[in-house]
Structure 1
Amino acid sequence: MDDIGKSTSELPSHLTQYIAALSVSLGGFSFSTSLAYTSSASHQLMNNSTNSSLVITTDQNNWFSSTINLGGIIGGLLGGVCVNTLGRRGAMLASVLPFVGAWVFISFAQNFAMLMCGRFISGVCAGVTCIAVPTYIGEISSPDIRGTLGMGLPVMVAFGIEYSYIFGAIMTSWRSLALVSAIPPVIYFILVFFTKESPTYLLSKGKEEEAKEALQYFRGKHYDVEPEMNVMRQTQEEARQNTVSMDELKKPYIVKPLVISCILMVLQQLSGAIPVLFNMSLIFKVRLCLFPPPAALDVFFYQKFLDEDRAIENLSWLPLICLIVFVTAFAIGLSPVPWVMTGELFSLNVRGPANGVASMVNWTMSFVVSLAFQPLQAAIGPYGIFWFFAACCAISIIFCILVVPETKGKTLQEITRQLGGPDTTEVTLKKQEEISRF
């Protein structure tokens, strides 16, 4: 076993892994345009700035912005089924047609019901994508670059948001913006179509030759994949022998990481990222490509409340600085980390149902926070709501310092033991530690 992966080439090739990860990460680009779409479209729909026969009220706009999260709840559950029946790649491909159809629904909407239908379908596709893409990347990646490839999804989400903001600032019609937003899913479909299926999925379906061929493709033609195939076989055999039901999620060593994951998901949504993203143009009353953080918005809006002219004159630079700080911090912190932690804190035999619970919590909180944003803003003022978001961010810092365990440099088995879980077999542990070296 000391010669694992060294019989032909000592290190696996990374190029094909980077290309595949980049291709599937475009799914994040695709669904994030849905998240940012309402920032420009809501202002146009409510004010009838495009002289359309379809005009929505403030209450309707709350539902128009938030309904995507209801779809995300369903999509998260559906995604867990799809990745195990259609495959990781198959689930991604299957989500594209309804994704494009949702944008067509919105673009040609004649009433509010069609808008809602389009947003709900977009949410379902986003939910499937959030399950399928990280699963696929985690399974095709070599351990030494898994973290780097995993960051592709949140980075693409940021690019997709910016894409929507840019075209929202250029285009004067929410219908045209919807059609432009349908372009990324089409490109996503083409790129994913030419990728190979996850070796782990293929092996789970008994397609051993196809699994080996796919793994060889991702590791390079001169790399010896047989030792890694052996570990994959052992891991899957253990997972089959130790499957659990939802009732067994009550075990202490499972409850603790589940509670931590769910609280991280709640705090992610209470950071204020999603409601600000959904309502950008309504918050600033102008069509800007900005995403300021809560604490600085407190200062800006409170000064604007006291003296609007003075605030605009003296603090006009503040939103741009905040944009840089917030996007950077959110992209490397509260955006990806809760999802990464769900993949690390749970043992393999409970990872599926536990991730499903955490995903539902995330989408549910996103729905609640985005739906309540405008009523709360009207009740306590714009500076009040952002003080609330800032306080939640501060709580997130304290929670992470005091409660969230450090997983850097630890194997999944060490993390499980740290949380009070059972040891894996010595043979499996030895094999997984050996495979982690290449």
Structure 2
Amino acid sequence: MSWTSPTLPKMESGETDIPASSSEQSWIGSLTPLGAVFSPFLAGYAADRWGRKTTLIATACPVIVGWVLIACAEPARSIPLIYVGRIIHGLCLGLAFTVIPMYCGEIAEDKVRGALGSFLQIFVSLGSLSQYVVGPYVSYLVLIIFSAVVPFLFAVTMWFVPESPYQHVMAGEEQKALEALQWLRGTSIEAVKGELAIIKENVREKMENKSTPRDLISTKASITALYLSMGLLGLQILTGIDAILFYCQDIFAASGGDLDSSVATIIVGTVMLLASACTPFFVESLGRRMLLLISAAGMAVSLALIGTFFHLHDNNSDTSSIGWLPVVSLVIYMIVFSIGFGPVPWAVMGELFAPNVKSMASSIATSFCWFLAFLVTNFFPTISLELGSDYAFWIFGIFAVVAFVSVFFLLPETKGKSLQEIQTMLGG
């Protein structure tokens, strides 16, 4: 996703043979989330029909094709080829971000489910950092080759991971479900038979209650799970993360600080990765609610600070004595985002829905998330240009305040609860 951060400045400066206008750059940045709007609906069907593991592996080939198209754009001097490649990446991204929380929620034990779900944010952070570290210092083509290796490695390693035991039970493959549980738990088949019985009961209820769109609004538990998931994912985007990831290097360049924008971006990416790596240790000890509250409060403060800096800078005030503020503010933002609103909404989404509506509901919530990401990444450059970067960051800060209030009053704690206990709590 962060490929645009080191690449768009190269297009602006003429380092590539593909000059792009500001409007074209906005579309290059936003077409990936736009592509991700549509694929979650296919993801739910594919995950149930062919399995969570198979669906995830199948995303790798189109991602590589997308990189090939983007690579061909330079010799062809064709912006539309980049558009097509970015849309393909978005389609695969939407699939992955729908199925991964589903898969993690089904393979994990209750006591580590939240921690495992938070690993999604760790790898998002690792991917972003790799682009920030490599991108500014290599050519357009070399960065694409580097990026294309990742989906290949993913497909190879994912091949050796077992399918979800829920998927095996749905397919009538009880022995394979036992073997998957044995592999996942690192114990004997006898030791996991009790867990298999619980999974079979959950799947039986799902198969007896085939979901339709009406089922999402037929019970209080489903309605509550849907608005909580959509709310958390929506606020995750509206607090500005995609705009910051996609345009991080441009943001630092616009601040006019003494620190090189590439170096500042690497610092922020490194902090984001380190903070994400700490999340699994906190998510089960502090709980989902506490992490989200800390995250929202920290984002509100840091966004207010960076907005204030740009307000002073853009109005020709002397900001030389606080030139460090954009870096420090975004470091704080990345820390608190990475321990809270980055990983936790995805982990919570995997916990909230009943088995019979999980695929459909996850698709709707994820699609909504990516639609907002498209709007934010497409309009952030325009808002920054027309209103000023100060107002853009202050708007994100207002949504961070909304996030704090919403979590405080509306979100129940799911730490340590089984999926059935969560359904009972939501329906109470």
- What TM-score results when the alignment is normalised by the length of structure 2? 0.84
In structure 2, what is the Cα distance between the partners aligned to 1:208 and 1:362? 35
Q: Is the 8 A contact 1:39 1:280 kept in 2?
A: yes
Matched, 1:371 2:378: yes
Match of 1:321 in 2: 328
Q: Is the 8 A contact 2:2 2:245 kept in 1?
A: yes
Q: Secondary structure at the match of 1:296?
A: helix
Name which of structure 1's ranges 119-128 and 242-251 shifts more when overlaid on structure 2.
242-251
In structure 2, what is the Cα distance between the partners aligned to 1:64 and 1:201? 37
Q: Which amino acid aligns with 2:196?
A: M
Q: Deviations over 1:389-432 (max 9, x none)?
A: 111111111111112222234443343333336xxxxxxxxxxx
Cα deviation, residue 252, structure 1: 5.3
Q: Which amino acid aligns with 2:64?
A: V
Q: Is the 8 A contact 1:272 1:294 kept in 2?
A: no
Q: Which amino acid aligns with 1:102?
A: G
Matched, 1:64 2:28: yes
In structure 1, what is the Cα distance between the partners aligned to 2:170 and 2:147? 36
Match of 2:63 in 1: 99
Alignment RMSD (CA, Å): 1.9
Q: Deviations over 1:77-99 (max 9, x none)?
A: 22212212221111111111111
Match of 2:312 in 1: 303
In structure 2, what is the Cα distance between the partners aligned to 1:103 and 1:240? 39
In structure 1, what is the Cα distance between the partners aligned to 2:417 and 2:49? 31
In structure 1, what is the Cα distance between the partners aligned to 2:144 and 2:123? 19
Cα deviation, residue 275, structure 1: 0.9
Q: Secondary structure at the match of 1:347?
A: coil
Name which of structure 1's ranges 332-341 and 111-120 shifts more when overlaid on structure 2.
332-341
Give the alignment partner of residue 55 of structure 1, picking from 12, 19, 33: 19
In structure 1, what is the Cα distance between the partners aligned to 2:341 and 2:164? 28
Match of 2:128 in 1: 161
Match of 1:199 in 2: 165
Give the alignment partner of residue 190 of structure 1, picking from 132, 156, 160: 156
Q: Is the 8 A contact 2:53 2:164 kept in 1?
A: yes
**Residues 256 and 194 from structure 1, CA distance in 2 versus in 1: closer, same or farther, beyond 3 angstroms?**
closer
Match of 1:132 in 2: 99
Match of 2:295 in 1: none
Q: Secondary structure at the match of 1:262?
A: helix
Cα deviation, residue 375, structure 1: 1.2
In structure 2, what is the Cα distance between the partners aligned to 1:229 and 1:345? 20
In structure 2, what is the Cα distance between the partners aligned to 1:215 and 1:409? 20
Match of 1:18 in 2: none
Cα deviation, residue 324, structure 1: 3.1
Name which of structure 1's ranges 131-140 and 146-155 shifts more when overlaid on structure 2.
131-140
Cα deviation, residue 187, structure 1: 1.5
Matched, 1:270 2:277: no
Name which of structure 1's ranges 133-142 and 177-186 shifts more when overlaid on structure 2.
133-142
**Residues 415 and 93 from structure 1, CA distance in 2 versus in 1: closer, same or farther, beyond 3 angstroms?**
closer
Query: Please, which runs of 5 or more residues in structure 2 have no aligned partner?
Result: 254-260, 269-298
Q: Is the 8 A contact 2:118 2:343 kept in 1?
A: yes
Match of 2:181 in 1: 215
Structure number with larger C-alpha Rg: 1
Query: Please, which runs of 5 or more residues in structure 1 have no aligned partner?
Result: 1-34, 422-438
Q: Which amino acid aligns with 2:204?
A: E
Cα deviation, residue 183, structure 1: 1.7
Q: Secondary structure at the match of 1:299?
A: helix
Cα deviation, residue 205, structure 1: 0.7
Q: Which amino acid aligns with 1:65?
A: G
**Residues 252 and 194 from structure 1, CA distance in 2 versus in 1: closer, same or farther, beyond 3 angstroms?**
closer
In structure 1, what is the Cα distance between the partners aligned to 2:224 and 2:12? 45
In structure 2, what is the Cα distance between the partners aligned to 1:135 and 1:248? 18
Note the 1:1-400 alignment, pairs <5 A: 35-50=1-16, 52=17, 54-109=18-73, 110=76, 111-171=78-138, 173-222=139-188, 224-251=191-218, 253=220, 254-285=222-253, 286-287=261-262, 288-289=264-265, 291=268, 293-307=302-316, 310-311=318-319, 313-400=320-407
Cα deviation, residue 188, structure 1: 1.1
Q: Deviations over 1:31-87 (max 9, x none)?
A: xxxx1111111111233223x1x2111111111100001211122122212212221
In structure 2, what is the Cα distance between the partners aligned to 1:142 and 1:248? 27
Matched, 1:402 2:380: no
Cα deviation, residue 149, structure 1: 1.8
Q: Which amino acid aligns with 1:395?
A: V
Q: Runs of 4 or more off by more than 4 Å in structure 1?
A: 290-293
Q: How many residues matched?
A: 382
In structure 1, what is the Cα distance between the partners aligned to 2:195 and 2:420? 18
Q: Deviations over 1:104-124 (max 9, x none)?
A: 111121211100011011111
Cα deviation, residue 247, structure 1: 1.9
